[in-house]
Amino acid sequence: MNSKALSEAFKRGGAEALLASLKEARGYDWIGIYVKKGDYLELALELGGTASHRKIRVGEGICGMAAKKRQTVVVQDVEQEPNYLACFPDTRSELVIPILGPGQEVLGEIDVDDDQMGRFGLEEREELEEAARLLSQGWEKIKPNLFSKGYGAASPAEGPK
């Protein structure tokens, strides 16, 4: 997806529509957003299943590593990654992108799991990094939804305008 298509999805339906469009375009198994609360990352939105690790300490797992380094982490084969925390039995590769604020602080992360080894190439990575930039730019608008329980439930989607 080009940046215009991503931006349109985000304006139309906020974080949920943005993630849904990425998941659909690429056929990823699972995609979610963790938000950073103190020393923890908490799962705020997920599409494609119910992940078992919903609260992860910064520094732990692939998610915690990405938050600590404030850098994208791509794992092409989760079985080779000693820090990996398994959420789904079929997952073989994973990509985590920090959502950085204006001062380069970690606001949250996009996490993607897939059952194919080596699923994440440069194209996928750049696309997801663009999505993380959009989430960062619209963060103040989407934050109340992401921090409230039950995000993505029956309430109408809310874009950042």
Kindly list the residues in this chain that would bind ligand SME in the complex (CB under 6 A). Answer: 32, 51, 53, 56, 61-63, 84-85, 87, 94, 111, 113
Q: How far is CA 53 from the centre of its chain?
A: 14
- Among left, alpha and beta (phi > 0; psi -120 to 50; other), residue 154 is alpha
What is the C-alpha separation between 119 and 110, in angstroms, rounded?
A: 16
> Least distance from C-beta 8 to ligand SME, angstroms?
27
Using the minimum distance from each CB to ligand SME, give the nearer residue, 16 or 160.
Answer: 16
First-residue to last-residue Cα distance in the chain:
20
Using the minimum distance from each CB to ligand SME, give the nearer residue, 97 or 160.
Answer: 97
Of the candidates 71, 66, 97, the residue with the CA atom closest to the CA atom of residue 81: 66
Of the candidates 139, 160, 124, 123, the residue with the CA atom closest to the CA atom of residue 33: 139
Using the minimum distance from each CB to ligand SME, give the nearer residue, 32 or 152.
Answer: 32
Using the minimum distance from each CB to ligand SME, give the nearer residue, 114 or 127.
Answer: 114
Instruction: Report the residue number whose CB is nearest to ligand SME.
Output: 61
> Least distance from C-beta 77 to ligand SME, angstroms?
13
